[in-house]
Chain A
Amino acid sequence: MSDQEKHNSRFEELCSAYVLDALTAEEQAEFDTLLSNANESEQQLFADLKATSAHIALLAKQEEPGASLKDRILRYVLGKQANILPIQSTGWSNTARYAVAASFVLFAVSLTLGIYSANLGTEIENQEVVIRNQETMIIDLTNDLDRKNELLAILESRDIDLVLMAGAEVNPDGYGKVIWDAKNQQAILQVANLPAVPSDKDYQLWLIQEDGTPINSGVLPISGSDTDSFLKIEQLAPKDPNANTFAITLEPKGGVPQPTGSIYLAGQTN
């Protein structure tokens, strides 16, 4: 056998096994080298044997893949490419693209509505705060108006006494005024320049009889201030010709039946 015949025989042997994928890695490398240097007839032999091998596939037992496999594969393959599709169109892909486009439009509309809704929600919250503040203001004004009406009702009384109170030794700058509606057992108390009240103390109002007997007229809901405070005093003791002096003392928290502390303001009816 000549060298050429040996070469041809070797080429046929390796080529036949190569197209059946039956070579070892070393033999494959050897054939790759032969193929890269192959002449035209050898290349044709390789193409023919490759096609021959492919024909054997027809002998596989005929089997049908699952009915859902087509959809699964097309969805998988085409789905992976959704962002680079496509040059030519089909009914199915148009539908898909319209769906994608529609979803983007819906997303944009939803986003806009969401932002608008969020802004609207914030605006509503702001307006609700304003409304609550205005309601509070209305309540305060209403209360203030009621209080002033009550004070005015006392001032409108035809039988009132005016008692001016001055600061005592411990509070020389103090000032007070009582507009006393004895008939209705109520009064308006105006005070100013009272020292701040310690946390365990309260100012207490007394109506003092001529003999010096004090009548408890209630704890004052004030904490002391330089500015004027106006208070309505109710349920004062009935008018007594012998009781004509008002005094304010600083007493233990909650008040006491008999005064124990220093007098901060005091005044007598004319």
Chain B
Amino acid sequence: MIFFAIIAGAGRALHLNSKDEVDLIKRIKNRDEQALELFYDKYNKLIFSLVLSIVKRREEAEDVLQELFTKIWEKAHTYNENQGSVYSWVVTMSRNKAIDRIRSRRYKSEQKESTNSESPYEDFEADVQNPLEQTILNERAGYVKEALNSIPKEQRQVIMVAYFQGMTQSEISVELDLPLGTVKSRMRDGMMKLKNILQDSIN
């Protein structure tokens, strides 16, 4: 319980939809070039890291980043403050673009052998003891790591494979040699628990 209290408290710090970010999107919508530059400065590392963890290649990740910022510039008006945070909007858009890449037939055939290569995400079981030594971003990541670390490993595994390798439940079933029903139930249970742990930060 003490752990969950800490996470819940930290969750408030994870509340990412600040007024500044919403204003930034509004300025971008109004064709403010400086706002786009500020947005890049704020998000480039996070987005690049996410995209690279999925597509694996730096040049591919940079291409995705270019497409993404083009889309942000052209589609900023589609952002709806009532449907979620700016962070959630841009991360979802980034991940979708990266997954589109790896799901293309060409890219999929090229990357097939690298599925089991080096883990694309941080070893969330490491460094958990010392999150305060990290930067603010890494500190936030530390909270998420702790939340993930608090759910069963089997559930965590299917979530991470889906998230960073862009696999569907059917593909995960084959990849991990698990019944499809098991993959589905582990994914649902894991996500529901994770949501509950991070509830404060989300709201």
Q: Is B182 an interface residue (CB 8 A)?
A: no
Contact, CB under 8 Å: A13 / B168: no
Inter-chain contact A22/B202, CB cutoff 8 Å:
no
Contact size range, B: 35 or more
Given A53-B92, A87-B30, decide whether A59 and B188 contact each other with a Cβ distance below 8 A.
Answer: no
Interface string of A86-113 (1 = CB under 8 A from B): 1110101100000000000000000000
> Is B24 in contact with chain A by the CB < 8 A criterion?
no
List CB contacts (< 8 Å) of B45-61 with chain A: 45-46, 48-50, 52-53, 58, 61
Given contacts A65-B65, A87-B32, contact A81 B169 (CB under 8 A): no
Known contacts: A20-B159, A22-B172. The answer to whether A58 contacts B140 by CB under 8 A is yes
Q: Which residue of A lies closest to B181 (CB)?
A: A13
Q: How far apart sit A108 and B172, CA to CA, in the bound complex (Å)?
A: 64
* Docked-complex contact B50 and A60, CB < 8 angstroms: yes
> Which residue of B is nearest A51, CB measured?
B202
Q: If A22-B167, A58-B140 touch, does A63 touch B49 (CB 8 Å cutoff)?
A: yes
A45-76: which have CB < 8 Å to B?
A: 45, 47-66, 69-70, 72-74, 76
Q: A16-B192, A76-B66, A77-B70 are in contact. Are A61 and B162 (CB under 8 A)?
A: no
B84 within 8 A of A: yes
CB-based contact B121/A73 at 8 Å? no
Q: Which chain B residues (93-109) contact chain A, with CB distance < 8 Å? A: 94-96, 99
Majority secondary structure of chain A interface residues (helix, strand, loop or mixed): helix
Given the contacts A12-B188, A59-B122, A59-B144, A73 and B40 also touching, CB distance less than 8 Å: yes
Within 8 A of A (CB), among B118-155: 120-122, 124, 137-138, 140-141, 144-145, 147-148
Given contacts A17-B187, A24-B168, A54-B87, contact A63 B48 (CB under 8 A): yes
Q: Is the CB of B202 within 8 A of A60?
A: no
Residues of the B chain whose Cβ atoms lie less than 8 Å from the Cβ of A220: none
Which residues of B in the span 28-53 have a Cβ within 8 Å of any Cβ on A?
A: 30-34, 36-37, 40-41, 44-46, 48-50, 52-53
Chain B residues with CB below 8 A from A66, complex form: 58, 62
Given A22-B167, A70-B44: A57 in contact with B50 (beta carbons within 8 A): yes
Minimum CB–CB distance from B170 to chain A (whole Å) comes to 6
Cα-based distance from A88 to B44 in the complex (angstroms) = 23
Q: Which of A21, A49, A51 contacts B166 (CB 8 A)?
A: A21
- Which chain B residues lie closer than 8 Å to A138 at the CB level? none
Chain B's nearest CB lies how many Å from the CB of A55? 5
A13 touches B44 (CB 8 A): no
Report B-chain residues with C-beta under 8 Å of the C-beta of A84: 31
Contact B122 A77 (CB under 8 A): no
Q: Is the CB of A59 within 8 A of B184?
A: no
Enumerate chain A residues within 8 angstroms of B33, measured Cβ to Cβ: 74, 78, 85-86, 90, 92-93
What residues on A are CB-neighbors of B99 within 8 Å?
A: 21
| Complex-state Cα separation, A92 to B168, whole angstroms | 44
* Chain A 1-20 near chain B by CB (<8 Å), digits 1 or 0: 00000000100110011011
Tell me the smallest distance from the CB of A98 to a CB of chain B, in Å: 14
Question: B31–A54 contact, CB under 8 A?
Answer: no
Interface centre among B53, B65, B88, B137 (most CB of A within 10 A): B88
Select which of B36, B44, B120 is within 8 A of A60 by beta carbon: B120
14 A-B residue pairs with CB within 8 Å = A12-B192, A20-B187, A48-B203, A59-B124, A60-B46, A60-B52, A63-B48, A70-B37, A84-B31, A86-B30, A87-B30, A87-B31, A88-B27, A88-B31
Since A60-B53, A80-B70 are in contact, a sample of 4 more A-B pairs with Cβ atoms closer than 8 Å, ordered by chain A residue number, is A17-B188, A50-B88, A53-B92, A56-B163
Interface residues of chain B, those whose CB is within 8 Å of chain A, are 14, 27, 30-34, 36-37, 40-41, 44-46, 48-50, 52-53, 58, 61-62, 65-66, 69-70, 73, 83-85, 87-88, 91-92, 94-96, 99, 120-122, 124, 137-138, 140-141, 144-145, 147-148, 159-160, 162-164, 166-170, 172, 184-185, 187-188, 190-192, 194-195, 198-199, 201-203
